[in-house]
Structure 1
Amino acid sequence: GKFEFTYVSTSTVIVKRLSSGARIVLKSHFGYEVTKINIYEDRFLVAHTHETMLMGDLESCKLSEVPWAGSGNEKFHFDNEKVCMIFNSGELTLIEYGKNDILGSCRTEHTSPHLISVRLNEARDPKRPELETKKVAYLLDLQTVRIVELTTGNIDATINHESKIDWMEMNGRATKLLFRDKRRALHLFDIASQTRTTLLSFCSYVQWVPNSDVVVAQNRANLCV
C-alpha cells in the first residue's frame, strides 16, 4: 500500500510513492509488456517483461533494462546503491543502474553480501575516463578470492588463503582488499603490488571508513584505526 502503479500502456507504468507523491516512469525501451513489478526495501524496483528485466533506484531515478531469460528463482541484493546484484543458478550478474547492459557476471556459489564487494568509482576528471574504476571481488571457493576489472574483464588478482574467508570488502577506490578469515585474522591485500599484510588477530569487527583508506577494527578490548 506504499506505492501506486498506473499503466499508461502495456509497456509504460507510472510508479508513485504515496507518502511523498514522487513518481518514476517505468518504460520498456523495446515496447514489451510489463508483466510484474516488485519494489524492495521501499527503494529498488524490479520489473519483468517476457524478454527483458527492468530495475531502478527510486531515489536516483536511474533505470535499466537488459535482455533476460530468467528462471524465476533469481535472488536480488541491493547492498550497493549503484549496482543491482542478481544471483541465479550459481551465477552472479551485476547491472549498474542507469545503464542498459550487463556490467559483468561471474560464477560463484557464495552469495552473502559480506563475501562480494563491488566498487564503481566514477572518474573525477571527465577528460580522463581511463581513471574510472569498476571492479568486483568474489569467492571462487571459501579460500580463494578473485578480483576482476569489470570494464575489460581482466583478472586483477587471485588470492589463495590457507583458511576460510568469512568477510571481505574493497576500499572505495578499489585499490586494496580487506578480508577476515575464520581464525579471526584480518588481512590487507594491495592490488597494485600484489602483496598481503596481516593487520590484526582476534578481529571481531572491521569496517572501511567511508570515502577513505582508513580502517576501523576491533580485537578483544582494543579499537584500532
Structure 2
Amino acid sequence: MKRIAVLVLITVFGTSVFAQKTATRKLEKFTAISASEGIDVTLVKGSSYEAKITASGIEMEDVLTEVSGGRLKIHLDGGNHRNIDVNVEVTFVSLNEIKASSAADIKSSSVIEADMLEIDASSAADIDLKIKVKELHVDASSSADITLSGTADKQNVDISSAADYKAFELVSKEGDISASSAADANVNVTESLYASASSGASVRYKGNPDKVKEHSSSGGDVEQY
C-alpha cells in the first residue's frame, strides 16, 4: 500500500508540474520588447498592453514579464529549467525595437508600423515579422534567423556568425547590407544598394536597383538573384 501511495504522489506531482497553465497580465506602457531563454512570443497589435501566458513544465511565477524604461523584458527566473514550454501573446500599441536571444522566437500576427524600427536577434533566436516602416535597422548574429515581409523605405543590415536574413518579401528603396562570417542575406531593393560580404558570407539581391555598389572579400559573395 505504501508503494502504491508513493506512486500516486509521484504521478500527481508530475501531472501538476507539467500541466499547462495560463495567465493574463496587464502591463505598463512599452515601445520595445525583448525575449530570451527559448520563450515563444506572438505580437498582436491592439489598444492596450498585456501578456497572455501559456506554460507547462514551469511555475507561472518563474515566467517574468517586466517593464522598465518603456521596455518589456520576457524571460525566466533564475534556475535550471528543462523540458518546458512557454508561449506569450503580447498585445502592443506601437513598437520601435524588437530583440530576441538565446533561442527565443518572436513572430507577429499583425503588421508592425513605425517610422523607425530596430530588430536584433542572436544566439539561435528566430524573428518573423510583417512590417511597414520608413527606416529599418537589423542586427543578427550567432546562428540567429530573421524573416521579414512588407515594406521599408531604407534598411540597414549587419549580420554575422552564420546568421540568416530572409527579406526577399520586404521591398525597400534603399539598402545598406553587410554580411560576414558565413552569414547569409536575401534582400529586395529597388533604387540604391550597397552590399558587402566577407569571410564566407553571401548577399543575394533582387529588385533591379538603379545603383549598386558591391564589395566582397575572403570568400564572400554578392550576387543578383
**TM-score normalised by the shorter chain: which range applies?**
0.3 to 0.5
Q: Identify which of structures 1 and 2 has the higher relative contact order when contacts are C-alpha pairs closer than 8 Å and 6+ apart.
A: 2
- The structure that is strand-richer by fraction is 2
So what's the TM-score if we normalise by structure 2? 0.32
- The structure that is helix-richer by fraction is 2
Greater C-alpha radius of gyration: 2
